[in-house]
Amino acid sequence: MRTATPDDADDIARVQQESWRVAYAHVFPAAELATEFIDAGRWRRNIETPPPGWSTFVAGEPVVGFACVGPSRDEHGVGELYAIYVHPDAWSTGAGRELIERAEEQLVRRYDDATLWVLQENARARRFYERAGWRHDGGRKEYERWNVRTPEIRYRKRLSSERSRS
């Protein structure tokens, strides 16, 4: 586990894209998922010059997963897990657990609470978050991509008790 560098951008994009292809095959059109739809250049820019408060971590050599955290896009004073993806070939290997633990370690340095958004139909990810102590807090919005609208739900985790143990 380490902090991402701009050289990781292509691997991050690959991991995200392959994860989407498997996790969302039942949600989004196969023809769209078959394209190159994740912009590695955007990842490179966000790692080179991260938005305020952002941190991105990678797992594995070669990279098999990543997590990105920072301030909430919805609530002042709350952190957010923006993204966590593990390549499908590395699912159930512990890489995701290591990434979420590292993401939470980063978040607890600045926030008492953190949120994340997940597609409602991503049952595997929801089980993963729930095992890690995250809970659906009632937040809901619509996500649209490729003319498909699907609900996203918000999960939340209290981090401050973890901070007091540090």
Return the DSSP state at 50. Answer: P
98-107, 130-139, 154-163: which range is least confident on average?
A: 154-163
Q: Is the pTM of this model over 0.95?
A: no
The model's confidence at residue 164, banded by pLDDT at 50, 70 and 90, is very low
12-56 residue pLDDT tens: 999 999 999 999 999 999 999 999 999 999 999 999 999 999 999
Q: Is the pLDDT of residue 162 over 70?
A: no
Q: Using only the alpha carbons of the chain, give its radius of gyration.
A: 15
